[in-house]
Chains A and B, each alone.
Chain A
Amino acid sequence: MKENYFPILIYSIVVIGLALSFLMMAQYFGPRRKSKQKLEPYECGVEPFDSHRRKFHVKFYLIATFFILFDIETVFLIPWAVTFKEMSMIAVFEMFFFLFILGIGLIYILKKRVFDWD
C-alpha cells in the first residue's frame, strides 16, 4: 500500500522544490526597475477604470446559487447511469420522477424571471 504512494511523494517534493527555486531565482537575480506603467494592474495597456473591489450584480449570486443546486443533482444521476441496466424498470421510472420534480423547479425559476437580465 505505502509503496504505491512513494512516487507521488517524490513527485510532489520535486514539483514544490522546482517552483520554490524558480521563485527564489527570480527574486535574487532579476533586475528591478519600477515605473508607473509597470505598477498598474494590467501591464498590457488597459487602463483600470474602477477599483477591483467592484460590486457584482446580485443576479450573479442568484445564478451561482441555482448552479450549486442543479450541479449537485448529478451526484444522483451518475451512479444511476452506471447501474441502471442491472436494476428493474422501477429505477428508470424513479429517476424520471426525480428529474420531473427538478424540472418543475426549473420551470418555476424560469417563470419567476430569474434568468432575465434587467
Chain B
Amino acid sequence: MFTLQNSIILGLILFSIGAYGVLTRRNLLVVLMSLEIMFNAVNLIVLAFNYFRFYQQGKELGHYFVLLVIAVAAAEAAVGLAILVTIYRNRRNVDSDELTEMKG
C-alpha cells in the first residue's frame, strides 16, 4: 500500500490533475490553484524517493529541496495573485477567455 511505486503514481496523478486544470479551466484563480497542485505533486514525488531510497543511507537532500520548492511556489503564487488583482481592477473579471488583447 504505502510503497515507492504507489506514492509516485499518486504524485503523477496529482500532477496530471494539475496540468489538466491549467490547460482547461477558464477561471484564472483555479488555474493558479492547479499550478500549486502540480508543484506539490512534485514535492510528494521527491519526498517519496527520499524516504524509500535514500533516507536509510542518511541522505536527506530531498527534504531541503522540498523546502525550497515550497518557498518558491509561495512567491510565485503571491505574484500571480497580485497580477490577478491588477487585472480585476482593470476589467472586473478574471476569466481567461476574455484576455484577448493580443492576436496575430
Contact = CB atoms under 8 A, between A and B. Distances in A.
Interface stretch (A39-47, A58-66, A88-96): A58-66
Interface string B48-77: 000000000000000000010011001101
What's the dominant secondary structure at chain A's contact region?
helix
Contact of B67 (A58, A68, A71, A76): A76
A69 B74 contact: yes
Contacts of B23: none
Interface residues of B, number: 13
B9 interface: no
Contacts of A62: 85
A61 B81 contact: yes
A79 B81 CA distance: 28
Contacts, number: 36
Contacts of A2: 1-2
Interface string A1-43: 1100100000000000000000000000000000000000000
B62 to A, nearest CB: 13
How many interface residues does chain A have, given as a range? Answer: 10 to 19
18 contacts: A2-B1, A2-B2, A58-B89, A65-B78, A65-B82, A65-B85, A66-B78, A68-B74, A68-B81, A69-B74, A69-B75, A71-B74, A72-B71, A72-B74, A72-B75, A73-B71, A75-B67, A76-B67
Interface of B: 1-2, 67, 70-71, 74-75, 77-78, 81-82, 85, 89
